[in-house]
Amino acid sequence: MEASPKILLNIRQVTEATGISRASIYRQMKAGQLAFVKLGSRTLFRPRDLQSFVDRNVQASD
């Protein structure tokens, strides 16, 4: 049986999936560059918001 994709990811899962440090993720959140979901004390992320963040930050090489 295949596991269904997660709807929300926690900060640890985001750092592992992206290679972006925890501090950098929090900076991007504070700057309004990375959308997040706050449930009580938990900070969670939708995979589509992470993909949008990455897509907006792609740099074309010269």
Summarised one tens digit per residue, pLDDT across range 2-40 is 677 789 999 999 999 999 999 999 999 999 999 999 999
In the chain, where are the structural domains located? 9-56
Amino acid identity, position 2: E
Summarised one tens digit per residue, pLDDT across range 36-58 is 999 999 999 999 999 999 999 99
Which of 48, 45, 47, 8 shows the shortest CA–CA distance to 25?
Answer: 45
- This prediction has a pTM of 0.83
Burial 27-40 (b: 16+ CB within 10 A, else e): ebbeeeebebeeee
